Amino acid sequence: MATPWWLAAAALPLPPTRVDDPEVEIVGAGITGCSCALALARAGLRVRVHDTREVASGASGRNGGFALRGGAMAYDKAREWMGDGSACDFWRQTEDALDRLVELGGDALTRTGSLRIAADDEEREELRVEFEALAADGFDVEWRDELDSPLDGRFTAAIFHPRDASLQPATTVRRIAVAAAEEGVEFRERHRVESVEDLDAERVVVATDGYPSGLLGSLEGLIIPTRGQMLATAPLGERLFACPHYGRQGFDYWQQLDDGRVLAGGFRDYALDTEFTADEETTPTIQQALEEFVTDLVGRDVEVTHRWAGIFGLVLDFLPVVGRVPGSDRVWVAGGYSGHGNVLGFLCGELVARALTGDPDPLLESFDPGRLLAA
């Protein structure tokens, strides 16, 4: 029961490759590390990837399975924080990244759209402001006042994002890893990197997001390890939810898979004093809250078949942390997705690869790791 639903699927075998003289070594074989490795290999670089466990064993195999455009903060807030032009570019780039992710992931992704829902009138007004900002900048978005059962009477309104997707995150990342290995990337699974000095490459990318690596120097601990807990039910007899749902400021999220089972996560705010941790253990308090939520939502008792937890990296300004580690000429970091890593992590892996091959994107100015030291 402790195995994440996503990781129960059989792992894809990686083509055997060996790189004797890597130009770049990546620590972390999740969505970011695999995306970065693939982009670097396609640019002609020799790449080696290390992971303490296996491909997609961390947050990439333990999340809610949402593939969402945008960042962790609402779009209207991003415009205020980043400026209108930078925020719009950020959101457009995530849309393009999602398109590329769909191509790589194949049938592990389904374009269902996603529904961000308001739990009360205050959240409804916040969503309305975000909807108007998205619509004003030409994004494909729909406002919904009337919600179908079992949402009606429980939630007050919603934004529907038509281009978003549901994904099997572990399978998606494993397929990216296979594509990278076929391009010549070496994967060293079950190998923990204790020190940057143990690596051979001139450049190192740390892509462990919320999992502490001990490799980030002055940044260590500033991407805050945060636990997200989930459960999966046995298949239900009817289809209640056609796409990923998330509400209450992202503290509640769930979706129903094609086989009828519901996967739900969140309720971290029920025990914030325990959830800022790198421990992947589930807790009775949050698991009970999740089970009661799903039972209430579907209107009957449910059988829970899986319970699990994963660790994501929280950043207080809700922007990714991507760039060279301050004080190091050798080490780069990509992480801090604040719970939105499936698409953001894929994009940020590519952004690091572009920077390392001499084509830095202006968006990296907003993601500069140095800002964490100045906060």
pLDDT of 325-336, one tens digit each? 999 999 999 999
From first CA to last CA, the distance across the chain in angstroms is: 41
The predicted pLDDT at position 350 comes to 98
At residue 63's C-alpha, the angle toward residues 59 and 67, to 5°, is: 110
Residues 176/24, Cβ–Cβ less than 8 Å: no
Q: Percent of the chain beyond pLDDT 70?
A: 99
- Where along the chain do its domains lie? 22-109+164-221+315-375, 114-162, 224-314
Residues 173/55, Cβ–Cβ less than 8 Å: yes
Residue 282 pLDDT > 70, yes or no?
A: yes
State the pLDDT confidence band at 272, using cuts at 50, 70 and 90. confident
At 283, is the secondary structure helix, strand, or coil? coil
Segment 175-207, tens digit of pLDDT: 999 999 999 999 999 999 999 999 999 999 999
Residue 12 pLDDT > 90, yes or no?
A: no
The predicted pLDDT at position 375 comes to 66
> Closest by alpha carbon to 113, among 231, 200, 241?
241
The predicted pLDDT at position 1 comes to 65
- The CATH superfamily holding the domain 224-314 is D-Amino Acid Oxidase, subunit A, domain 2 (3.30.9.10)
The predicted pLDDT at position 32 comes to 98
Residues 204/334, Cβ–Cβ less than 8 Å: no
Residue 277 pLDDT > 80, yes or no?
A: yes
Residues 266/258, Cβ–Cβ less than 8 Å: no
Q: What is the DSSP letter of 83?
A: -
Residues forming a β-bridge with 109: 167
CATH 3.50.50.60, applies to 22-109+164-221+315-375: yes
Mean pLDDT over 29-54 rounds to 98
What are the structure tokens assigned to 309, written together? 């937890």
Average pLDDT, the chain: 96
Residues 246/66, Cβ–Cβ less than 8 Å: yes
Enumerate residues 6+ apart whose C-beta is below 8 A from 148: none
